[in-house]
Structure 1
């Protein structure tokens, strides 16, 4: 399966005093792409997910411009109650950042992690990518 691609528009307010997009804005960009990916094929996981870890490697600064950033997203390391989402953030075709997010499936009524369902595993496998890249891969 090829990577899921989502375009994210920067906001002028994402810039910091050093005249590049602030590192905190990237978490919002990643969230927008991750949510778009899941809603692309599946309305939601049966009880939801929480984020247990983020890792971002900044490779080059991004300066605001009106063109969207391209976020490529894929999934790997599907385990009993968690999975990893990986991202590449491209600015005019050049990788500006690589990131990963560990997601944990949760039963909110019981307030504890829960096992992925077979349907959820199938959805996640559909977002797999064989290209090694990003923090925590390889």
Structure 2
């Protein structure tokens, strides 16, 4: 299984009064990594995949350790844990080497903005996502 790696810089304004990254800011970090991951397939190669829009149906976040400001970015690893006909689940770890600050997941629903409704995942999108799917889950999907 491949993992998508995103280098995420920390901003001074991300800190709260207690001197660490505010819990709500982690949602923005996850969004940056998710957009970078999903749009790797899209318009650069002329593919319409994922360019029509998507919506977040669910977030789950486990805060493991406080993250304080520093000049070095953190790495956000992303991978796919579930693919349904009209949704997918992306898992993440925000980390520094072996040090994990956050574990999270997001359920994403592809969305047709023009029709204002959810849409199915295309064959091209599914093929792309399978490269990043957890090997245990990939076996369950094939069964």
TM-score (norm 1): 0.88
Q: Which runs of 5+ in 2 are unaligned?
A: 44-48, 138-143
Q: Distance in 1 between matches of 2:89 and 2:62?
A: 16
- Match of residue 50, structure 2, among 30, 38, 45: 45
Aligned to 2:113: 108
- Match of residue 90, structure 1, among 68, 72, 95: 95
Alpha-carbon displacement from aligned partner over 1:31-82 (angstroms, at most 9, x marks no partner): 1111111222333415221111111100010010111001000012100100
Q: Distance in 2 between matches of 1:115 and 1:49?
A: 11
Q: Is the CA contact (8 Å cut-off) linking 1:58 and 1:98 kept in structure 2? A: yes
Asked if residue 71 in structure 1 is aligned to residue 76 in structure 2, the reply is: yes
Q: Is the CA contact (8 Å cut-off) linking 2:39 and 2:51 kept in structure 1? A: no
Q: Which runs of 5+ in 1 are unaligned?
A: 133-138
Q: Superposition pairs for residues 1-138 of structure 1, below 5 Å?
A: 1-43=1-43, 44-45=49-50, 47-130=52-135
How large is the RMSD of aligned CA atoms in angstroms? 1.7
| Number of equivalent positions | 132
Q: Which runs of 4+ in 1 moved over 6 A?
A: none
